[in-house]
Amino acid sequence: MNGSETAEFRRALEDFALASGHLVAIELDATGRIQDYNKGFSLAVSAAGEPRGQSLAAFFPPRKGNPQEIVPGLPGGLAVPYRLVSWDGRELLLHAYRLADEHVLLLGMPLNPDESLAMQRMAGLTTEMGNLVRELRRANRRILDLARTDALTGLPNRRYFFERLGEALEQARQLRRPLSVLMIDLDHFKEVNDRFGHAGGDAVLTAFAELLRGGARASDFPGRLGGEELALLLPDTDAGQGQRVAERLRADTARLRPLGEAAVFTVSIGVATLRAEETGDAFLARADAALYAAKTAGRDRVVVAGAVSSTPAEGSERRRPKHRLLQ
């Protein structure tokens, strides 16, 4: 290095040399012990254990003609070249550069890289590529999860719900198993936002989403379709089972208190069970019609598509609290 090079340039060169796997870089302290090194050095000498703190002779023995002392630079700033032979006979051409605090940087490359060294380097590159691929896959999975998830509730969003609905329809037909769906609407949700603000509405949605998720089986699939409308897909579930799931969800919802004891809210639920040869749109339309019937009949109730009665569950009116925020 000559005197015109800046400290920033020197530091950049040192950083590159230490990070490179193609060059061999060794930093020696004032006593000739290894202070730092790069991957190229480890590969070139097949270093076992931690080289830091060891003398250079631990890797380049004197009996092979290696110099007893490394002189860091000639007058005028020219680097001093050295041919060093490792314990296993590998020859390296290294140039000695003077660093601060009487440290020395040895920088160079192997003169006779053999097949094993090349294989080691390839193995190192393969490992690095494998790590990069794994990181990329994790990043892609994270991006996919974000694209499928409703940001507020953490439930699957509308697009992902409809993707899974298509898969569930195909599986139900192939296996000839029942499939039901609950269409769910939080009653009078606008009143929550008007009284408690959007933060209160978010708290209600989040609490209900957690209830919906917590009560679902591993095979069930909940989703937020938009606003205060949610859905729950129930594989291997007939109409009677679907109605019982809906009634349990309706009762559990009335016990939630995300905004305090005086603030009680309810849900209306429509239930539909897949018919033979029915399309997904028709399936959801029947569930949505049942939901509309539940809200028209007074809310806080479950209506099963095709059922004769749309009255609330027995005793539901008697259980209604006196200080109900939502009807």
Q: Are residues 196 and 276 both part of a single domain?
A: yes
Q: Are residues 103 and 138 both part of a single domain?
A: no
Q: What's the domain range around 79?
A: 7-113
From 62, 112, 66, 121, select the one nearest 92 (Cα to Cα): 112
Q: Are residues 166 and 275 both part of a single domain?
A: yes
What pLDDT shows up at residue 235? 95
Distance, CA of 230 to CA of 289 (rounded, Å) = 14
Residue 140: pLDDT band with limits 50, 70, 90:
confident
Q: Are residues 176 and 72 both part of a single domain?
A: no
Higher pLDDT, 110 or 253: 253
Residue 207: pLDDT band with limits 50, 70, 90:
very high
Q: Are residues 289 and 170 both part of a single domain?
A: yes
* DSSP3 helix / strand / coil % (the chain, rounded to 5): 45, 20, 35
Instruction: Confirm whether 229 is a catalytic residue.
Output: no
Q: What is the pLDDT of residues 120-134, one digit of tens each?
A: 555 566 676 677 777
What pLDDT shows up at residue 264? 86
Q: Are residues 171 and 92 both part of a single domain?
A: no
Q: Are residues 97 and 123 both part of a single domain?
A: no
Domain of 266, CATH number, reads 3.30.70.270
DSSP 129-159: HHHHHHHHHHHHHHHHHHHHB-TTT-SB-HH
Catalytic residue among 14, 27, 228, 247, which?
228
